[in-house]
Amino acid sequence: MGGYIVQKKLDELTIGDEATIVNVLGEGRVRRRLFDIGVTPGADVLLRKKAPLGDPIEVTIRGYELTLRKNEACLVVCDIKGGKN
């Protein structure tokens, strides 16, 4: 424990950051798609790769690799584990 909670959107994480999803913003089809592929509050996520301009990103979530566009990743709010900034 001992760390403090830092909240960032998924597209703001740096490679190697581990986080827990706390909220999925947005509405409609994009939000439903994120839920359908397992991007839900409480899920742990690890940022594995980022394209040179930050779009897309690759994360590990629920034991599998997932690629998200920046416009999707910016809707996912996370608590960074260990208080890394």
Residue found by looking up tokens 């742990």 in the block? 44
Position 49 pLDDT exceeds 80 = yes
Note the pLDDT of residue 3. 59
Q: 11: closest CA among 61, 64, 62, 77?
A: 77
Note the pLDDT of residue 53. 86
pTM greater than 0.75: yes
Mean pLDDT of the region 45-70: 94
Position 14 pLDDT exceeds 60 = yes
Helix (H, G, I), strand (E, B) or coil at 4: coil
Right CATH for 1-11+42-76 from 2.30.30.90, 3.40.630.30, 3.90.180.10, 3.30.70.2740: 2.30.30.90
Q: What is the mean pLDDT of the chain?
A: 91
Q: What residue spans define the domains of the chain?
A: 1-11+42-76
What torsion do the CA atoms of 39, 43, 48, 51 make, to the nearest 10 degrees?
Answer: 30
The most confident of the ranges 3-17, 32-46, 70-84 is 32-46
Q: Which amino acid is at 73?
A: A
